[in-house]
């Protein structure tokens, strides 16, 4: 069969990795795909740098605009990242009758509906395995491998930067700022780390996973997103004493009244496999009603890992490029005319368990007041840890783990606890998931 001809936009980490892996493993890939995948154009802002990156391989380098217009190109691989010019280029590529493979989670989470509509109208594939969890084929697992399941929930460590920071904070007992600086020095965190540490990147990814899992529209703007900047070393320590690890999880869960969609630091039982995912690694746990809980683990970023996902998409395109659109897997797993209308629940309506850290006067009656407030707000206590006050201190920490409840109950209880004269600081709230 004639080769699949691709044009790569950008020869940075992902684009360069894709170039490398296609060059290195071309024969092995062709033995599986049944045809060669041939890079016929590279679109670059800085052509000289792109030519240097390819070190002697003679592939035409052109502008980004020329690449998406090139009549030679069957598929555009977009590895620029960010909203623009990526979005305009993808839409132009589609308008020009080209299929698209992209790693751009931010773009899909924000503008996926527009992109998929345009692609549907033209009969083009838009594939995005690389957008979530790098080299782990989680999109394929969810869209195809678990297609028989009514998905109950997904919980994922889908941001390597924050998992590295939390792992280091725990294993070395260091504060957030110190570890962040180290992560930046190692190249695991960007100079501006906002998207990662504030949970936005994980929010983009879990929105995509939720759409695929539940057949709902992309809903990033309705997700509750919290990062890890407020996590203190003592909470990691207390959690560990009680048998838990703290991870930044992206969670999507089906409830009777709608879908929970949230990113936040989460206590998980230390015995769970996913609690032991350390460093920059990613893992996604999926609970389906038929398959049960399956877990997908691997490197969530990096040049060749992400390239692995990009090329898997390219091989899918290679197989189906001359097939009818009905032979393809729908963009977001469900057929577009059968998307569900379940609402995304506000965070107040979310049901989970809680870790509460209270700073209180160490005197009689304090615990009684607190337990009364909890009972009044329908909160039941699963575990309680009261620390001895430090030498000469008149205050102490009380740590409470609650059973599952609706979040608004917890917020009411916290307001009441903070109004007590014996409460000496704002209550620290973390969420807890058993993932069983």
How big is the CA angle at 160 (ends 159 and 166), to the nearest 5 degrees?
A: 100
Per CB under 8 A, 308 contacts a second copy: yes
- Name which of 381, 386, 311, 391 is nearest 36 in CA terms: 311
Q: Give the whole-angstrom CA distance, residue 159 versus residue 283.
A: 9
Beta carbon of residue 46, minimum distance to a second copy (angstroms, whole number)? 25
In the complex, the smallest distance separating the C-beta of residue 175 from a second copy, rounded to whole angstroms, is 25
Which is catalytic among the residues 205, 230, 287, 387?
A: 205
Closest by CA to 149, choosing from 336, 284, 296, 291, is 291
Q: Which residues contact 256 (CB under 8 A, 6 or more apart)?
A: none
Residues 133-152 that bind a second copy (CB under 8 A): 134-137, 140-141, 143-150
Stretch that binds a second copy, among 157-165, 200-208, 294-302, 361-369 (CB under 8 A): 294-302
Strands 351-361 and 428-432: antiparallel
Selected from 8, 33, 169, 263, the binder of a second copy by CB under 8 A is: 33
Q: Residue 251 Cβ, how far from a second copy at the closest point, in Å?
A: 18
Nearer to a second copy, 28 or 418 (CB): 28
Nearer to a second copy, 193 or 300 (CB): 300
Least distance from a second copy to the Cβ atom of residue 407, Å: 28
Q: Does residue number 307 form part of the binding site for a second copy (CB under 8 A)?
A: yes
Do 281 and 160 form a contact (C-beta atoms < 8 A)?
yes
Active-site residue, 205 included: yes
295 binds a second copy (CB under 8 A): yes
Nearer to a second copy, 101 or 202 (CB): 101
Residue 90 and residue 127: Cα distance in Å, rounded?
12
270 binds a second copy (CB under 8 A): no
Tokens for 111, please give them: 């503008």
Q: Angle CA(271)–CA(175)–CA(356) in degrees, nearest 5? A: 55
Residues 211-250 that bind a second copy (CB under 8 A): 215
Q: Does 1 bind a second copy (CB under 8 A)?
A: yes
- First and final C-alpha spacing in the chain: 48
What is the chain's Cα-based Rg? 24
Q: Which tokens hold the place of 310?
A: 């990009």
Report the residue from 326, 341, 365, 436 that binds a second copy according to the rule CB under 8 A. 326
**Residues in contact with a second copy, total (CB under 8 A)?**
69
Say if strands 351-361 and 395-402 run parallel, antiparallel, or are unpaired: antiparallel
Within 10 angstroms of residue 164's Cβ, the number of other Cβ atoms is 22
- Residues serving a catalytic function are 205
Footprint of a second copy (CB under 8 A): 1, 17, 21-22, 24-25, 28-34, 129, 134-137, 140-141, 143-150, 215, 273, 276-277, 288-299, 302, 304-305, 307-312, 315-316, 319-320, 322-324, 326-330, 333-335, 338
């Amino acid at each position: 069969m004639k080769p699949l001809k691709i044009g790569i936009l950008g020869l940075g980490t992902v684009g360069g990795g894709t170039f490398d892996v296609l060059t290195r493993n071309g024969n092995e890939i062709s033995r599986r795909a049944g045809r060669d995948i041939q890079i016929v154009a590279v679109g670059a802002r800085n052509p000289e740098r792109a030519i240097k990156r390819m070190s002697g391989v003679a592939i035409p380098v052109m502008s980004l605009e020329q690449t998406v217009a090139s009549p030679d190109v069957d598929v555009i691989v977009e590895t620029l990242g960010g909203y623009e010019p990526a979005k305009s280029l993808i839409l132009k590529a589609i308008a020009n009758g080209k299929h698209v493979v992209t790693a751009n989670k931010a773009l899909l989470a924000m503008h996926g509906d527009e992109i998929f509509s345009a692609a549907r109208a033209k009969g083009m594939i838009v594939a995005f395995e690389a957008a979530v969890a790098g080299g782990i084929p989680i999109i394929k697992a969810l869209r195809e491998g678990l297609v028989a399941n009514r998905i109950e929930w997904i919980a994922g460590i889908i941001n390597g930067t924050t998992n590295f920071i939390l792992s280091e904070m725990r294993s070395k007992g260091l504060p957030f700022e110190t570890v962040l600086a180290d992560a930046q020095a190692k190249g695991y965190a960007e100079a501006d780390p906002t998207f990662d540490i504030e949970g936005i990147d994980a929010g983009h990814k879990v929105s995509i996973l939720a759409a695929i899992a539940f057949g709902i529209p992309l809903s990033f703007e309705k997700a509750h997103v919290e990062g890890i900047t407020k996590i203190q070393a003592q909470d990691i320590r207390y959690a560990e004493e009680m048998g838990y690890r703290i991870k930044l999880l992206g969670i999507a869960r089906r409830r009777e009244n709608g879908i929970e969609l949230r990113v936040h630091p989460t206590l998980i039982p230390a015995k769970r496999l996913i609690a032991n995912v350390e460093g920059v690694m990613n893992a996604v746990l999926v609970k389906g009603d038929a398959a049960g809980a399956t877990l997908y683990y691997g490197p969530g970023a990096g040049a060749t890992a992400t390239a692995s996902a990009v090329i898997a998409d390219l091989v899918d395109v290679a197989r189906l490029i001359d097939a009818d659109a009905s032979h393809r897997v729908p963009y977001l797993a469900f057929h577009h005319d059968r998307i569900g209308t379940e609402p995304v629940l506000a965070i107040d309506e979310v049901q989970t368990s809680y870790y509460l850290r209270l700073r209180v006067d160490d005197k009689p009656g304090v615990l009684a007041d607190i337990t009364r407030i909890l009972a009044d707000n329908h909160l039941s206590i699963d575990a309680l840890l009261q620390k001895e006050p430090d030498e000469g201190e008149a205050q102490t920490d009380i740590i409470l783990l609650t059973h599952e409840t609706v979040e608004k109950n917890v917020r009411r209880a916290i307001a009441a606890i903070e109004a007590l004269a014996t409460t000496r600081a704002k209550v620290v709230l973390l969420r807890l998931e058993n993932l069983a």
